[in-house]
Chains A and B, each alone.
Chain A
Amino acid sequence: MISTLGRFTLALALGIAIYGAIVSILGARRRKPALIESGRGAIFAVFGLATFAVLLMEAALVGRDFSIQYVARNGSLGTPLLYTVIAMWGALEGSILLWIWILALMSLLAVVIEGKRNREAIPYATAVLLTISAFFLFLAAFPANPFAAIFPPPADGRGPNPLLQNHPLMAIHPPCLYAGYVGWSVPYAFAMAALMTGRLGEEWIRTVRRWSIVAWGFLTVGVILGGWWSYEVLGWGGYWAWDPVENASLLPWLTGTAFLHSIMIQERRKMLKVWNLALIITTFALTIFGTFLTRSGILSSVHAFSESTIGPLFLAFIGVILLVSFGLLAYRSDGLKAEGDLDSLVSRETAFLMNNLLLLGFAFAVLLGTLFPLISEAVRGVKVSVGEPFFNKVNVPIGLVLIFLMAIGPLIAWRRASLESLRRNFSLPLLLAFLGTGVSSILGVRGLYPLLAFSLAMFAAATVIQEFARGVRARRQISGEGYLTALSNLTRRSRRRYGGLIVHLGVVLVVIGITASTVFRLEKEVSLKRGESMHLGRYQVRFDDLTAWQEAHRFVVQGTFTVLNSNRQVAEMRPSKRFYPSEQQPIGTVDVRSTPREDLYLILSSFTQDGASATLKVLIRPLVMWIWIGGAVMALGALVAIWPDRRVLAAERVKERVAWQPGRS
């Protein structure tokens, strides 16, 4: 029953999406409001049907309807409720369904929120969004149908991949990442609408900017959560391995970040119009490319789903996107001449330009390194891979220059920066940076890159804090507000600027966390007999006990270790191994003790059958927590930047009343 209903729902949604895309274009071309209205209706209908399909899938999963192949493969009688519910995004077909639903939701929000502001663009944006929906609905309706039936239904299912039912982060990491990927569809759709209508003025930029920040925020959180999940679950003590799928999520983040900066140049100086459109097209294409990498199985990765046949379809879709989008861009290039010009090389324009160049260089290096095995095999017939050393060697120096630009970009003046303003803005941060370098050198930081990373992070943090402090002081002098009121009013006055600065502060925290946890990482692996201890850093770890028990869906072997710090007991930690019936080998489950200062990370590598001895791997990674905190600060900054501004809303309402003329659709 669910199978038939589900397949019918998806097919119907596909039909409506195609219909809606066609009538929206027709309605806009022939100026028929009824057709445009019908296209808008399609967006609502697709959202309704997608929601229904998701609920059906959840009903099948929670109801353990093993006549559905997806449920038989990804659910089981013994799986706890949480992991049963989130099994929807544990494998290929279900994750496409989630993708469709998020896209439908974003499309709906975009059409409703932007409906009044962008009357001309909406039908075209609707058509683009529905076309993207149609592609994914096609995948779900045919080659990757989540509602495919299986006969005869098995008595019990296989259960989700053990790695995916080992940590609650799985509940939020994929949806966040998908929202980050899918979110770029909206700015892309409005950029395409601007190209199609030829209305390439200022209206679309506002819309696109806000939605880009939304997508960027979700993508940032998704990427950071992915690192966190990897750190907590995969049990190798790291959070980023330059794995193809990790790289795939970083690529649109890099080009999207470049776009968020270069669009400011267009807003302020009316330059780089073609460049910005190219960036948004590239970013959107990279989100689809990322899905392709995850789902096609052309590169092996821990995160990849098993191989499937939908790879070629994705490649074809990416090809069409690039061809149509860049074709349109070339066709409209006459209307995209720069109106402003560069006044001086020492200006914010130059800083942003360099930022763009480096972010793109970073992205190119990541792309090249990821695809290198494929390229070298195609070109030279030999399998060559470039692993972590390549990415570190190339991207660390680029990243360091980017941090420097991040520090100076927001403070250097538009058009032309005077020597006096440079001195005023940067002398204090520069002094602090040198001081910071000295302190980190005394604390034992060695090597050019780590020292540069700490001093540049210090420099960037100082510029941000100085900027906030100056703003607060100025407000206090004028209005006599308290510190907190002044801070909040200051931020509210110019949300995008101060939101951006908060994001930069988050980046600084992430950089410090990554550098410290890499440079000061300690690691030791030993075999211990019961009662024996090992020492690492400040800690003494004693092996106390090894126990085992059967749970509903797995068998657990767990070690108990007492952690002492200068003979004082600080924690009892329990890393374990979990044996799932469907897997040939156990899944290691680490135990991590996180403090702001450092993480203590215990991995139970192996043990003897009688439990007399165990092999333990212990890692100490300083300041790891600050990476996650930095991610949260970045998300907060994005939120501040997009928070609706009451004054702007009021002003828009007035403008709307003036601009609205009956008879002009």
Chain B
Amino acid sequence: MTKRSKLLLGVVVVAAALGYLIYGGIREAAVYYVTPTELKGKGASAADQSFRLGGMVVPGSLHWDPGTLQLTFRLTDGKEQVAVKHTGSPPDLFKEGTGAIVEGKYMSGNLFIASTILAKHSEEYRPPQAGQAQAKDLYRTLMKPAEERR
């Protein structure tokens, strides 16, 4: 075997190893993006599998307990609803009636345990509307004279 063909063989082996690594990585890490309807349609076959679930937070379904940090809410696509549970604080942009994507595992019994919550951020500018409470008004009790601050 010449040096050239030995080298070529080495290159092929390394390239094959890389290919295998990438292939295995995709097989293991691929996460399907589903809507609540699609997830429910999968039935029992979806149990214990990882998904990214996208939908709107159902108004009135959002509960957060600061003591235990348990966050529960339901996501909907207009047809079906999926209950989601998460441990931690809700992200800043997360609230009822807005879109969100959650990543995690679907458990049997229509419960989704989310490890990550991504709130959809609207880029659009909305001028403060009349009647909408300003942060200043909401947290008035926290405001103190400036000299006390530091």
Write the residues of chain A forming the contact surface with B, with a CB cutoff of 8 angstroms: 73, 158, 306, 341-345, 350, 353-354, 357-358, 361, 364-365, 368-369, 372-373, 376, 382-387, 389-390, 393-394, 397-398, 525-527, 546-550, 555, 557, 577, 579, 581-582, 584-588, 605-606, 608-611, 613, 615, 617
Contacts and interface: CB of A to CB of B under 8 A. Distances in A.
A581 B132 CA distance: 11
B30 interface: yes
B141 A386 contact: no
Contact of B128 (A368, A386, A390, A581): A581
B41 interface: no
Given A393-B25, A547-B142, A384 B31 contact: yes
Given A393-B25, A550-B136, A585-B95, A361 B15 contact: yes
Interface stretch (B55-63, B77-85, B106-114, B119-127): B119-127
B88 A525 contact: yes
Contact of A390 (B10, B26, B95, B127): B26
Nearest to B67: A527
A342 B18 CA distance: 24
Given A158-B125, A547-B142, A609-B138, A394 B66 contact: no
A361 B95 contact: no
Contacts of B148: 547
B30 A384 contact: yes
Given A342-B3, A357-B14, A584-B93, 19 more contacts: A73-B125, A357-B15, A364-B22, A365-B21, A365-B22, A365-B25, A385-B30, A386-B31, A389-B25, A390-B30, A394-B21, A398-B18, A547-B143, A547-B148, A548-B142, A548-B144, A577-B92, A581-B128, A605-B88
B32 A382 contact: yes
11 contacts: A354-B14, A365-B25, A369-B25, A383-B33, A547-B143, A548-B142, A548-B144, A549-B149, A585-B119, A586-B92, A586-B135
Contacts of A557: 135, 139, 142
B7 A611 contact: no
Contacts of A306: 123
Contacts of A390: 25-26, 28-30
Contacts of B142: 546-548, 557, 609-611
Given A548-B142, A613-B66, A358 B33 contact: no
A615 B143 CA distance: 19
B17 to A, nearest CB: 9
Interface of B: 3-4, 6-7, 10-11, 14-15, 18, 21-22, 24-26, 28-33, 52, 66-67, 69, 88-90, 92-93, 95, 103, 119, 122-123, 125-128, 134-136, 138-139, 141-144, 146, 148-149
Q: Which residue, B28, B29, B52, B103, has most C-beta atoms of chain A within 10 A?
A: B29
A84 B32 CA distance: 42
A398 B138 CA distance: 52
Nearest to B145: A549
A548 B103 CA distance: 34
Contacts of B28: 389-390, 393
Given A585-B95, A606-B90, A608-B66, A386 B143 contact: no
A201 to B, nearest CB: 25
Contacts of B136: 550, 555
Q: Which 4 A-B pairs have the closest CB atoms?
A: A605-B89, A390-B29, A579-B135, A383-B33
Given A390-B25, A579-B135, A606-B90, A345 B6 contact: yes
A526 B21 contact: no
Contacts of B128: 581
B15 A393 contact: no
Nearest to B52: A385
Nearest to B21: A394
Contacts of B24: 393
A353 B146 contact: no
A342 B6 CA distance: 11
Given A548-B142, A615-B66, A385 B33 contact: yes
B124 to A, nearest CB: 9
A158 B126 CA distance: 10
Given A345-B3, A386-B31, A609-B139, A584 B122 contact: yes
A358 B66 CA distance: 47
Contacts of B15: 357, 361
B22 A345 contact: no
Contacts of A548: 139, 142-144
Contact of A606 (B66, B95, B125, B127): B66
A610 B140 CA distance: 9
B99 to A, nearest CB: 12
Given A361-B15, A548-B142, A584-B122, A397 B134 contact: no
A158 B124 CA distance: 11
A587 B21 CA distance: 39
A384 B32 contact: yes
A71 B63 CA distance: 40
Contacts of B127: 582
A353 B123 CA distance: 46
Contacts of B93: 584-585
A555 B134 contact: yes
A353 B6 CA distance: 13
A582 B125 contact: yes
A609 B22 CA distance: 49
A573 B30 CA distance: 40
Contacts of B135: 555, 557, 579, 586
Contact of A585 (B18, B92, B125, B146): B92
A344 B3 contact: yes
A386 B30 contact: yes
Contact of B66 (A376, A527, A550, A587): A527
Contacts of B88: 525, 605, 617
A387 B89 contact: no
A353 B25 contact: no
A345 B10 contact: yes
Nearest to B32: A384
Contact of B33 (A345, A384, A389, A527): A384
Nearest to A154: B127
A525 B65 CA distance: 13
Contacts of B103: 387
Q: Which residue, A341, A344, A384, A610, has most C-beta atoms of chain B within 10 A?
A: A384
Contact of B7 (A158, A353, A358, A549): A353
Contact of B149 (A385, A547, A587): A547
B51 to A, nearest CB: 10
Contacts of B4: 341-342
A361 B66 contact: no
A613 B64 CA distance: 14
A549 B150 CA distance: 12
Contact of A386 (B25, B66, B125): B25
Contacts of A549: 143-144, 146, 149
B141 to A, nearest CB: 5
Nearest to B92: A585
Nearest to A342: B3
A411 B134 CA distance: 64
